[in-house]
Each structure stands twice: as structure tokens, then as C-alpha cells.
Amino acid sequence: MSGNHPGLSNNFSRSGEKFSWSKDNLRSIKNIISKYPKGREQSAVMPLLYLAQEQNNNWISIECIETIAETLNMPKIRVTEVASFYSMYNTRPVGENLVQICRTSPCWLRGSNKITKTICKETKCEINDTSDDNKFTVVEVECLGACSNGPMIQINNDFFEDLDEESTKKIIDNIKEGKPNVIGSQKGRRSSENA
Amino acid sequence: MSDDLINIKVNQKEIQVDKNLTVMQACEIAGEEIPRFCYHDKLSIAGNCRMCLVEIEKAPKLVSSCTMPLMEGMSIITNSEKVNAGRKGVMEFLLINHPLDCPICDQGGECDLQDQAMYYGFDKSRYKENKRAVDNKNMGPLVNTIMTRCIHCTRCVRFATEVAGVPELGMLGRGENAEITTYLEQSITSELSGNVIDLCPVGALTSKPYQFKARPWELKRTDSIDIFDSVGSNIRVDSRAEEILRVTPRTNEYINEEWISDKVRFNYDGYYQQRIDTPYIKENQKLSISNWEESLKVLKDKLKTLKPLALIGEHVDLETGYAIKKFMSNYGKDNVECRTDNHAILESLDSYRFNTPLNDIENSDLIILLGTNPKIETPIINHKIFKAYNNDSKVFNIGENISLNYKTEYLGESLSSLDNENLIKALKKSTNPLIIIGSAFLNKIKNIKTLKSIFSYADKYKVITKEKNNLNFLNPYASRVGQLIIGNTTNKLCEPFSNLKKDNFELVLSFGSEHIANEQFNNCFKVYFGHHGDDGAMGSDIVLPTPLYTEKNGTFVNIEGRPQEAKKCHNPIGSAKEEWSILKKLSDELSFDFIPNTFEQLRSELFEKHPILSDYHEIIAVEKSTSITPDIEFEDCKAEYPISNFYMSDVISKNSVTMAKCVEEITSTPSLLEKSA
């Protein structure tokens, strides 16, 4: 994976907008912090980064980091360290739909290269790139843990499994047109039962 | 055998060591050298460089000795084939991404990686792939970064967090993408930031002003003392020919440990800027170049008729102070003054020095800061308070609500805040409380009762007990305690300097004191002995060049009362002459009694008169401590801090280009004001 991957870059940037917690998130934060002993609130940095990413259009801006540091009363650089360590925290803006293509051996053996090619063609963007209409960001990732249903991709929070070129194109088209997609296996399998 | 000792074997040699040590420390006691990069005595243990691998009998693999606790009967092997192979392997991995730029690297010749690669490494590389390159980071005007050289030992990160107390450095990313950086590449805002240069085992963090200046083997080493604050940090001055090229710390566990402040480390370029290198005499309201013969003749004639007063500046050593006192005694008493900032004192030594030994500060469980900003006045003492803070000590602050790198509880702006309920409650619970009263109040106190009350207060709340005296007086000037010990003051009690009757004196001799420019001396004939031309020199009638502390030998007594020697590094610049020799010459011509012919004679006469000063490095004992009176009554005075800008606190720093850059880039960083906790 190149250093251009939004989750693997050490360069953070400002969004230019103030970031403050939504009411729902403030409630969840209270709940999360209460799980840790007093004086160890900083342990909640990972769930808070996740909440911040969710609230901030799927990426962590410097404003997010500063808000988290303030909330947990910890140095900003410590939050930055954690955010940069994990690949699932995006350090730069991504499109509305973050398409993560698994390219580890099982998916690759089942044809993930073709899926990649289809996605790049349909979304009109390269790997690690965001499409001009800001609808898609496409990245390659390591195993996402759905090996028996490969090849598979993850779009935002949903898995799409048992893909072929046709079903992949359909998924992308549906997103473009704002139509709902069937989540999970595209061949009608339940979970990972025998095909 | 005591409970704390256990038996272990190091290379088949049986030894007994403390059970709380690590394998590495035990090996060191046994005399075995263990190579290391990330481990450092003063920092927490990281265990990430893997260089300290040793073999432990019955352990299947090599273990990193810095992280491994000892066990009874452990047998450690540090010289087997397996250990050597392990070290070679680690070394090879470390060098995979390390550039081969030793010939142009500032660390070359004093580089841990270079040395250990020679001893423990492989003689060639088997790596054919591309090396990784890392962008350099901005860390401010003092620390130069070449991050491709970094081996990720994280010593600098731990130093910033644990010692400097500014968690601004961190390691971003992971694996091959790991990079050390400051938060958003801002300058490090610590007064101790230069120490990361010494800590860095490779050439990733080096000194910016020293960049490409010299190789370590070209330099002459001179042991000296930091005179830019009162702590008396031990320093080594490295020079080539007649120029100082860098200043680094000397380890002294009692004082500065291994650290020094950025001011003494980096202001040496100011030593050579704007120097007074020849005598000047004022003619037609303008200073013009003169020579020694002429200027001394004018001065001699004035000294025959006018009654002089001598002012002692902040960088004056004891020998000079003694010579001044000796010379001035020809004109009567009470005519030498070092308390030019109105510093209030009582008779005894314990009323103007730091009574707690510096390395005991960290054992205190309650610290009261009274009108002092230790962060910019004495960064080393601030580090010790930070240590105490990390040991769960509470810190209270009275004076201005200053921002420090640890949390303080602010009680109020006047001395009467000492009666605060919370404070009294905490004091009663505390087992080892400590008070530090700084110049902001000491320079304002006008009533002897107030000073005595502080002693009574300290006695009442067990700050002073039979065993210890934790009531500390802190001033930021290197010369002060020593000059007071030899009695260079006009009034031993609280009488402020500004009360001096100006009619009594017609001639002012200032030895590096800028207070000669005070209005009260407007009608006097002014003579300035000094090395840097500032306001003091500008307004004087005669200016005589004298050497800097690195250009002569001298004794300084640090704030806790420890005499130490600053040694001469090179000859004075221009035609500067040592103060005592000028006074000797004047004495001879005025036919005064002034025996010493050499500096050594002067020093032995000083030691004869004040034998306590001759015991270098030992804290002077208090002969008679201040008596405690029962009543407590504080006068109302407003704190006024002596130093507002750490980088511009004295004539030398004001002339340093590096310090000017620091003011521009560090003190203007907004993060200094709105720092996260």
C-alpha cells in the first residue's frame, strides 16, 4: 500500500471548520469514559476517534484531534500518535463512499483484481483516489476477515461479498443512483454457508 | 544477607545485587558493558531498540536486558556467540534504513550508532533495496533535524514528556512509516529543549547553531559553570583557538543531573557580539575610543577626590568581588552593593539561599511558589519541581497567575494569601512541605518584619524543623549568594538599594551592573567595567573592557550555597583586563594597600578570609540560623517578576542571534499560551 492511503499518512490537515461533539456523541462519550477507571480516561481515545470520524464525514481533522485532546485532557500529540497508527482512521477527507477492496490472498485467488478494475472503471478513480464528484474514494486494504465469501469489498460500514464484475457494477450503479443495495453475499448466501 | 539482595551470575561471576534492578543494571555493576540506544538512566524504559540483548540461562531466546527484571539465581551471559550474533542482527536491521552520511553528519565522531556499529556490527551491508527517506521536521531554531538518520529510539519523545514536561514530541505512524515529529511541526517550547541533542544517539537531532562548525576531536574542553541563572549547572565549554563553538552539560547528580538550559547552551554567539574591546572615555557627551593609560589616569584623578560606590552585577565572580571589596575598604564601609534589585535579606545565609539541597526538592509533597516563575528563572529547579509534581506533590502559587508546565493551585497575589484555608489544610496534612520565595516578592519587601514572619510561618507549619530547612529563597543571579557571603552589600537588612542616599556618593563604579543607568546616579561620575555594551555602558563616563566568565578563572556560589569553579577557556577579547588587575594598578598608583600580585594570590587570600568557600562542590553550612519570632505579619506588596523573557534576560543573551531567533519563533508560538494539559 502506498503512503497515499488516507489511513496510512502521517500528515494531518485542518478542515477549516470548528469541530464540536454532537449531542448524541456527548452522551456516548460519557458512557464510554465511565467504562475506564478514574484517572485513566485517556484510554477512551480510540472509541472517541471513531466517533469523531463518524461525525466528521469519515475523516479525522486536526480540529477533531484537538477536541478529543480537550475532552480527555491529554496532549494533542498523543491523540495524533494513535490516529496515525491505525489505518482505519482516515487522516484526509474521503468521498461519501469509502470503497475498501480486499486484496489479500483468498480474495485475490477468487479474482479481486477484476473487482478492482471494475470499481476503478465505474467510479472513474484510481486506487487511493477520490472521484471528481466526491462520491467515491477507492482504496486497497489487507484482509477484512470475510475470506470464505471472497472476493469482497467494504463500502463505509457494509460488507459486499461473493462478488463478480457484474454484481460489483450493479452495487456501484445503485449507489450512484441512490438506490438501496443488498448487503452481504451477492449470490444469496446466508452468512458463509456452503455455496 | 539483606532481603533486598539476590544472588545472580554474570558471565559465571557470582555477584549480589539489589533485586529491584534490571538485568542491564546488574551487568553494569558486574562490569560488563551492554550496548544500547533507547535505554537512558533518566528516562522511562522503552525497550524498542533491541540492542541490549543478552542470553539468560534456560531462556529459549535472547532477552532485552533493559526491560528484564532480575530473579534469584539468574545466570546472565553477555559474551557468547549467540549474543554476538543477536547484536549483529539488530545492528544490521538498524542500519538498513540509516544513511551512510557519517562524513557530513554533525554527530560523526561522537555517535553511539557509529561506535557500536564498529564494535558490534557487521562489516558490510547485505541490503540491496532502496533505503527509506524521511522528510525533515521543524523543531524550532535550536534543534536541527535530519530525520532519515532516526532509529526511533524515542529518547527525545520520553525526554520531552517526562523531563521537560512539554508533551509536544511524538512518533507518528508505524512500521516503515514511523516518524518522530513535534505536534504540527511547531517549535519545542521547553527551556530545556537543547538536551534532546545530547540524548539523540544518532545524528537525527543536532544543534542548529553548531551545524557543520567542528569535529569533536578538534575541540578543546574546558569545565565551567552556567552563570546565566543561579543554579550553577555544570557545563563544558568546547572551543577551537579563541572561539567557543558549543556548550554542553557535565553530569552533576547534585545540581543539574545531565541537563542544562537552552540559554547557556545556545547564547555563546552573544559572547562575541557587541563586545567592549577597548577603553572608552566620554568627550562632549559621546563615548570615544581611548587607551588604558589615559582612561586609568582620568579614573585615578577622580578617585582621589570623589567618594565612590561600587555596584556588582549578576555575572561577577567571587575573586573579583573580593578585590572590589578590598579596594573599596580604603574609602570606608558600606560602599559596595550587589543587591541592586532591592533584594531583601536578613543577616544569616539561610535568608538568601535555597536551603533545600536541589536534589531533595523532588521528595517534597507540597510546594508553595511565592512570587517566582521557576520555568524561566531557573529551568533546572523547575524540572525538579516537575519531578515532585509527578510524585504527587501539590503545587500552590502566590503572586501572578503564571502558566507553568504542571498544574498549580493559584491562591492570590499577595503574601497574605499564605493564610488561605485550603493551603493551611494541605500544610497540616503534608509531611515534607517546601516554600520557594522568589525575587518578585523579595525585591518588593521593605519591612524586616515581613521577612521574619515568613520564617515564623515556615516554622509554624513544619517547613523548618530541627532536621531540615525547606524555606528557600530564590533569585536568578549567579553572583548573588557568593557576593552576599563575602559581604558585598551596604545594608545587611531589608533596606532597599533605592534608598541609598545619592548625596553620599559622587562616583559610581559598576562591575557589569546595568543599574548604573538608574536615575539616582544621574549626577555621579560613572565608570562601567564590563564586556558588553548596553544601557549601563552607554551612559557612563568611562568604559573599561573586562573579560567574560569564559576568559578568566573564577569561583561562583550557586543558589544552594555550593562554591564551584568556572575555568578560563581562552584569552580575553581585545584589550580586556581582569577587574582585580585594574584595581591592583589603581591601588598602587593611589598608594593603597593591595597585596596580591597574581590571581592565585588573590584567590588564596579570599580563601584565607573565607575558608568556607574553598571547599568546592560542598554545600556551605549555616553558622547561625535566623532566629524565629512568634508573630506573623505580612506587608502588602505586589509581585514583580525579575525576568519576563527567558531568552533575553541578560546582556549576553540580548546580543545573541540565536536567542533573538528563539524569541521570534518560540515565544511567539501561540501554543505556548494555549497549551493543552
Interstrand relation of A136-141 and B53-56 (parallel, antiparallel or unpaired): unpaired
Q: Which residue(s) pair with B571 in the sheet?
A: none
Q: Is B284 on the interface with A (CB under 8 A)?
A: no
Contact flag B181-A10 (C-beta cutoff 8 Å): yes
The per-residue pLDDT for range B502-511, each reduced to its tens digit, is 667 899 999 9
Long-range contacts of A16-19 (CB under 8 A, 24+ apart): A17/A63, A18/A63, A19/A52, A19/A55, A19/A56, A19/A61, A19/A63, A19/A64, A19/A66, A19/A67
Contact flag B676-A62 (C-beta cutoff 8 Å): no
pLDDT of residue B624: 82
CA distance B501 to chain A (A): 54
- What phi and psi, each to the nearest 5 degrees, are found at residue B412? 150, 175
Does residue A1 carry a pLDDT above 60?
A: no
Q: Is B133 on the interface with A (CB under 8 A)?
A: no
C-alpha to C-alpha distance for B306 and B524, rounded to whole angstroms: 9
> Which residues in chain A touch residue B677, judged by CB atoms under 8 angstroms apart?
73-75
pLDDT of residue B2: 60
pLDDT of residue A150: 84
Q: Is B187 on the interface with A (CB under 8 A)?
A: no
> Which residues in chain B touch residue A78, judged by CB atoms under 8 angstroms apart?
167, 170
**For A72, nearest residue in chain B (alpha carbons):** B677
pLDDT (average), residues A178-193: 89
Does residue B499 carry a pLDDT above 90?
A: no
pLDDT of residue B455: 93
> Which residues in chain A touch residue B136, judged by CB atoms under 8 angstroms apart?
none
Does residue B673 carry a pLDDT above 70?
A: no
Contact flag A85-B174 (C-beta cutoff 8 Å): yes
Does residue B676 carry a pLDDT above 50?
A: no
pLDDT (average), residues B605-623: 91
Contact flag B170-A78 (C-beta cutoff 8 Å): yes
pLDDT of residue B483: 94
Contact flag A70-B183 (C-beta cutoff 8 Å): no
Tell which residue, B27, B506, B109, B74, has the closest CA to residue B302.
B506
Q: Is B174 on the interface with A (CB under 8 A)?
A: yes
Burial class (CB in 10 A: 0-12, 13-18, 19+), A39: exposed
Whose cell is 558493558? That residue is B33
Q: Which helix (H) or strand (E) holds B450?
A: helix B448-460
What are the distances in angstroms from CA B429 to CA A160, B362, B384, B412, B417? 64, 18, 22, 21, 18
pLDDT (average), residues B308-313: 93
C-alpha to C-alpha distance for A55 and A50, rounded to whole angstroms: 9
pLDDT of residue A102: 95
Q: Is A35 on the interface with B (CB under 8 A)?
A: no
pLDDT of residue B669: 54
- Nearest by CB to A10, from B172, B182, B677: name it: B172
Contact flag A85-B167 (C-beta cutoff 8 Å): no
The per-residue pLDDT for range B556-575, each reduced to its tens digit, is 999 999 999 999 999 999 99
C-alpha to C-alpha distance for A44 and A65, rounded to whole angstroms: 13
Residue B175 DSSP SS3: helix
Interstrand relation of B234-240 and B243-249 (parallel, antiparallel or unpaired): antiparallel
pLDDT of residue B668: 65
The C-alpha cell at B206 is 543536532
Residue A137 DSSP SS3: strand
Contact flag B169-A77 (C-beta cutoff 8 Å): yes
pLDDT of residue B275: 92
**For A4, nearest residue in chain B (alpha carbons):** B177
The per-residue pLDDT for range A152-167, each reduced to its tens digit, is 999 999 999 999 999 9
Interstrand relation of B220-225 and B234-240 (parallel, antiparallel or unpaired): antiparallel
pLDDT of residue B503: 66
Question: For residue A7, what pLDDT band results from cuts at 50, 70 and 90?
Answer: confident
> Which residues in chain A touch residue B182, judged by CB atoms under 8 angstroms apart?
77
Instruction: Please state at what angle helix A76-85 crosses helix A45-55, rounded to 10 degrees.
Output: 80
Tell which residue, B511, B513, B600, B512, has the closest CA to residue B555.
B600
Residue B250 DSSP SS3: coil
Q: Is A147 on the interface with B (CB under 8 A)?
A: no
Mean pLDDT score across all residues of chain B: 92
Report the percentage of chain B scoring pLDDT > 90.
80
Residue B152 DSSP SS3: coil
Q: Which residue(s) pair with A138 in the sheet?
A: A99, A129
Helices (H), B461-489: 480-485
CB B447 within 8 A of CB B635: yes
Instruction: Please state at what angle helix A62-72 crosses helix A76-85, rounded to 10 degrees.
Output: 120
The per-residue pLDDT for range A66-75, each reduced to its tens digit, is 999 999 999 9
Q: Is B150 on the interface with A (CB under 8 A)?
A: no
Q: Considering only residues A25 and B518, tell me which one the structure prediction assigns the higher pLDDT.
A: A25
pLDDT (average), residues B442-448: 89
Overall residue count recorded for chain A in this entry: 195
pLDDT (average), residues A100-114: 94
The per-residue pLDDT for range B233-291, each reduced to its tens digit, is 999 999 998 899 999 999 999 999 999 999 999 999 999 999 999 999 999 889 999 99
Does residue B497 carry a pLDDT above 80?
A: no
Q: Which helix (H) or strand (E) holds B98?
A: none
Contact flag A75-B169 (C-beta cutoff 8 Å): no
pLDDT of residue B675: 39
**For A7, nearest residue in chain B (alpha carbons):** B173
Q: Is A1 on the interface with B (CB under 8 A)?
A: no
CA distance A104 to chain B (A): 19
**For B167, nearest residue in chain A (alpha carbons):** A75
Tell which residue, B205, B202, B211, has the closest CA to residue B97.
B202
> Which residues in chain A touch residue B676, judged by CB atoms under 8 angstroms apart?
66, 69-70, 74-76
